[in-house]
Amino acid sequence: MKSLEQIRADFPILQRQVHGRPLVYLDNAATSQKPLPVLQAMETYYRQTNANVHRGVHTLSEEATAQYEAARSRIARFINAASAKEIIFTRNTTEAINLVAYSWGLDHLRPGDEVLITQMEHHSNIVPWQLICQRTGATLRYVPLSPEGRLRLDLLDTLLTERTKLFAFVAMSNVLGTINPVAELVAAAHRVGALALVDGAQSVPHMPVDVQALGADFLAFSSHKMCGPTGLGVLYGRRELLERMSPFQGGGDMIREVRLEGSRWNALPWKFEAGTPAIAEAIGLGAAVDYLAGLGMENVREHERTLVRYAVDRLSQVEGLRILGPTNGERGGVVAFTLEGIHPHDVAAILDAEGIAVRAGHHCAQPIHDFYGIVASARASFYFYNTPGEVDCLAAALERVQHVFAA
């Protein structure tokens, strides 16, 4: 992997100051920063190739189509999908999960069926299943949390039954940093004849992911959390499942033939991509996965593993600070915490005055906060361009936050 100094030089925004202080960007679980190759790829598209895809025979359209589909192929290789036809472009992780909920769920769920999710899910993997279960009469069940912030896997055999049609779960919690045993959970779902959907929004950007090795039926993730642009997500689905699913939206490009009497759908993957797609964004994501592949995802994971261990140890020394989630063993690069007697929004505001960007709130995961009996937390989240020195800045600033409120 490049040196940390070389990597940081690839990210122009990391050179700026906020309130007269060097930016310390620790909000990567919400969105990551973008390296020069991504910015340049999107600018080049708009400057030299801007045209719609799939619909023109002129040079610009053919070039745009080639770049757009080449990005799809690179993304397929990045997660080791068997075919680029299994890569569906969506707006974000949320839309990818909704696609499965509506295109698969409405056709396959009936009264008496069950969908199993977990208590640590992001709202995007809770609300769609609540809506679909209400419409179909299926029952939604949850794998509960343990006090240390892990799934109660000892209850899995009771919760996964022949009534379970889908097990949808997060690979890595955006609050707790808990890394779930994805292959084990997928295998458990398959043993009872259920499909498995993995929310990879926090895992795909931070560690090697091989969908074939995991055995996942569906995997959803977002471009903007992995050095790519906003407004683009990805749904991976096994080809035989996608072939049998109904379209999610109707319109242009997802059709093969339209007559007043009825329509026939396009082939995969375009059957699920109605209308003009996010062309520049897909090209940008293609550049992002090239950048990540160049770093090596094992190297990315090892850097974050070392950094988060240091962060947990350093922040544990701050008086009155409580870390949510596991403090021993493997965890992702996320540390959500509370400071005794101080609202997380106040913590984040004071940190911002010192140039430190963290997130405060429930992080679209209210059930987790309910479990811990709190309404919100502050969250520092790391990526491969963050440094131990930035962890020290955060810890020192949190101690100053305490002094402000003690005064």
Q: Rounded to 5 degrees, what are φ and ψ at 382? A: -115, 160
User: What are the angstrom distances between the C-alpha of 239 and each of 81, 83, 84, 92?
Assistant: 10, 8, 10, 20
**340 phi and psi angles, rounded to 5 deg:** -55, 125
Rounded Cα gap, residues 7 and 400, in angstroms: 30
Q: Catalytic residue numbers?
A: 364
Count Cβ neighbours within 10 Å for each residue of 210-222 and write b for 16 or more, e otherwise: ebeebbbbbbbbb
Report the greatest alpha carbon distance in the chain: 75
264 Cα distance to chain centroid: 33
Residues 6+ apart with CB under 8 A from 239: 82, 83, 85, 86, 268
Could you tell me which of 230, 349, 330 has the C-alpha nearest to residue 284? 230
Nearest in space to 268 (alpha carbons), one of 229, 232, 241, 304: 241
Give strand pairing partners of 337.
Answer: 323, 378
